[in-house]
Amino acid sequence: MSYWDTGTGASPDGDGTLSERDELNELRRAATELAKKLRDGLIRDANHYQQQEAASQQILSS
């Protein structure tokens, strides 16, 4: 599957290659998406930790 078949919206130049600007834009989008996934994972893990900590404190206080 080629890059432009992935639904990214970028189109190849006349010779079938992406322009340097298109490549940089795609790299920027990929980095942004990766950062968002990392952020979401960290938030999920922090929430899970807080829930476990609260449950532990409740058990210890009873």
* pLDDT attached to residue 62: 87
DSSP 2-31: -GGGSS------TTS---HHHHHHHHHHHH
pTM (2 d.p.): 0.62
| Residue 4 and residue 12 in contact, taking contact as beta carbons nearer than 8 Å | yes
Q: What band does 1 get if pLDDT is binned at 50, 70 and 90? A: very low
State pLDDT tens for residues 6-54.
Answer: 555 555 556 667 899 999 999 999 999 999 999 999 999 999 999 999 9
Chain position carrying tokens 């940089």: 24
4 versus 60: the higher-pLDDT residue is 60
* pLDDT attached to residue 18: 81
Give the integer Cα–Cα distance in Å for 34 and 48.
21
